[in-house]
């Protein structure tokens, strides 16, 4: 059953982006491998860069925060590429990558949460919480579904789409619009994944 689930696994926009940009990522990943940067170092650089970006966001500097998010989040794709080129890709590496991705996203939203809180923007503060909850649920539902051999790889706002929403809008100093889009669409994505698992479970019943 596991082999069947893997073969029929639905590709997300993130999966397609990795395929489309493979010819770009491979040379960049090979370059970093040659100069001695390891995949784990790239993962940590991405996390630390997003922490710095979150600090700028907390201070209200949306431009600099957006620049760090824009530059550092793609490290998520590079670390996996580098590990594959080294022949070192493994499940633990993918696990570490997923965990740091969640931390990066929560740091970014945490920076915005602090900013809105200190500016007494109570509505946006609640919206950031909803965005964080939706983002975590999108990942959790997929992870839980995978553990039960279900395919939950669907949804209109996966990790890549959230990045494409947040980074540009921060650069244009539109954090409120960014968190509203993520709050609404991430939770819709979580429900889409829940519904897809439910349909598969009913077929097996």
For residue 146, indicate whether it is catalytic. Answer: no
CB 166 within 8 A of CB 70: no
Rounded distance, CA 97 to CA 81, Å? Answer: 12
CB 83 within 8 A of CB 89: yes
Rounded to 5°, angle at Cα 95 from 168 and 103: 40
Write 173-178 long-range contacts (CB < 8 A, 24+).
Answer: 173/62, 173/63, 174/62, 175/57, 175/62, 175/112, 175/115, 175/116, 175/124, 176/121, 176/124, 176/127, 178/112
CB 57 within 8 A of CB 111: yes
Instruction: List the catalytic residue out of 76, 97, 101, 151.
Output: 101
Structure-token pair, residue 37: 């940067």
Residue labelled with tokens 């979150």 = 54
CB 112 within 8 A of CB 175: yes
Give the residue numbers annotated as catalytic, written as ranges: 101
């Amino acid at each position: 059953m596991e082999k069947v689930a893997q073969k029929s696994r639905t590709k997300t926009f993130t999966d397609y982006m990795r395929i489309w940009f493979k010819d770009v990522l491979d040379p960049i990943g090979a370059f970093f491998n040659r100069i001695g940067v390891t995949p784990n170092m790239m993962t940590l650089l991405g996390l630390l860069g997003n922490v710095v970006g979150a600090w700028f966001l907390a201070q209200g500097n949306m431009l600099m925060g957006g620049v760090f998010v824009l530059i550092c989040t793609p490290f998520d794709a590079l670390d996996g590429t580098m590990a594959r080129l080294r022949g070192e890709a493994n499940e633990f590496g993918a696990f570490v990558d997923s965990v740091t991705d969640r931390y990066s996203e929560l740091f970014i939203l945490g920076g915005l949460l602090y900013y809105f809180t200190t500016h007494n923007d109570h509505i946006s503060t609640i919206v950031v919480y909803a965005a964080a909850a939706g983002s975590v649920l999108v990942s959790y539902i997929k992870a839980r579904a995978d553990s039960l051999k279900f395919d939950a790889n669907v949804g209109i706002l996966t990790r890549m789409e959230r990045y494409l929403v947040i980074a540009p809008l921060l650069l244009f100093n539109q954090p409120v619009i960014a968190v509203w889009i993520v709050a609404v669409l991430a939770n819709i994505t979580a429900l889409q994944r829940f519904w897809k698992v439910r349909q598969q479970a009913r077929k097996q019943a």
